Homo-oligomer: A and B are copies of this chain.
Amino acid sequence: MAKTLGAIVAALGGDLRGSSDLVIERLAPLARAQAGELAFIAQARYAKQLQQTQAGALIVAPALQDAAAARAPCIVCDDPYLYFARLTQWWRREHEPLPAPRLDPQASIDPSAQLEPEVDVGPFAVIGPAVRIGRGARIGAHAVIGALAQIGAHTVLHPRVSIGTRCVVGARCVLHPGVVIGGDGFGFAPQQGRWVKIEQLGAVRIGDEVEIGANSCIDRGALDDTVIEDGVKLDNLVQIGHNVRVGAHSAMAGCVGVAGSADIGAHCSIGGGAVVLGHLSLADGVHISAASVVTRSITKPGHYTGLFPIDDNASWEKNAASLKQLNRLRERLKALERALEPDLSKTPEA
């Protein structure tokens, strides 16, 4: 696995400062890169690390090019982080090219399924009746696609992905192992202390260029569909309840839970382990910190947080005990303020 700097620039652009014949054996993080390895400097504030890096070559923005070129050959470009992202894609295509598509003879493909050309189906995949799969899609081993579902062109289902009946996945999506699309939403009507199931008659509709992490779940809607718009990125072990809408290009880190009928705007981000309660709305451009709980609609873009700060356990115990008295403390403070009103009126601080 190796490429010259010249080959990289020929494929991806950028201005090369230094020898185009330099051989790059690996992409590496700046702090640990060695000779033969190519690293990037995302921001000018990492300029100090430039002094210590052992990297064989660097990707840098124009502002750093002279300092960088003094240390190693450079690719100069406007957005080194974005360049690096594209480079990882090219590097993978060059070094781990996908095998030619084939329909594994051990897959179970219903005769009524319609597969466009160049679809790859792995061993033991199960493709149900009237499924439609777009050109160049790759269906991993043990994937299960229910009746009438649709998979868009060039979408990749990794092994063990499950797509429920009538669900739709767009083009150029990536679904990681264990993802479940279209399990039943959690809906029951109470009857004398028991629960009566509400069959979930909707489905899930996923747009284009959506990525969903391992073992994440997106439930089918009760009547209408659950909707994941274009460009959404979900990490692992994320739970999306029924009839949720996730707006375009929003991202959620691992272990996020979104309850039913929440409506999340576009370009939002939700940190790991956060919970969004049901039947509420987040405006476009809302950013929720990790482990925070959204208990009300948020109508203004911005950054929102709610988590108990970690402390050594003994300090936490004292403060947590006091927390249960907080409202009472507030009342006691108010009583003191009233008692002191004449005094306070005399002090300049008041």
CB distance from A141 to the nearest CB of B (A): 5
Beta-carbon contact of A198 and B254 below 8 Å: no
Contact of A309 among B27, B178, B213, B324 (CB under 8 A): B324
Contact residue among B124, B219, B272, B275 (Cβ-Cβ distance under 8 Å from A277): B272
Residue-wise, chain A 289-327 has the 8 Å CB interface mask toward B (1 for contact) of: 111111110000011111111111101111111111111
Contact call B196/A82, Cβ cutoff below 8 A: yes
Contact A322 B332 (CB under 8 A): no
**Knowing A91-B201, A126-B141 touch, does A305 contact B311 (C-beta < 8 A)?**
yes
Q: How many residues of A contact B (CB 8 A)?
A: 134
- Asked whether A309 lies within 8 Å of B322 as measured between CB atoms, the reply is no
Copy number in the complex reads 3
Q: In angstroms, how far is the closest chain B Cβ from the Cβ of A41?
A: 14
The segment from A13-21, A66-74, A334-342 that touches chain B is A334-342
Complex interface: chain B residues within 8 A of A100 (CB): none
Q: If A96-B165, A162-B159, A183-B236 touch, does A335 touch B319 (CB 8 Å cutoff)?
A: no
Question: Is the C-beta of A207 less than 8 angstroms from some C-beta in chain B?
Answer: no
Mark out the residues of chain A between 54 and 113 whose CB falls within 8 Å of any chain B CB in the assembled complex: 79, 81-82, 84-86, 88-89, 91-92, 96, 104, 106, 108
> Given contacts A144-B159, A333-B332, is CB(A312)–CB(B304) below 8 Å?
yes
Residues in B with CB closer than 8 Å to A81 are 189
Contact B126 A142 (CB under 8 A): yes
| Complex contacts, A131 vs chain B, CB 8 Å | none
- A/B interface sample: 9 pairs, CB < 8 A: A82-B191, A88-B197, A88-B222, A123-B124, A176-B180, A195-B251, A217-B237, A319-B326, A340-B343
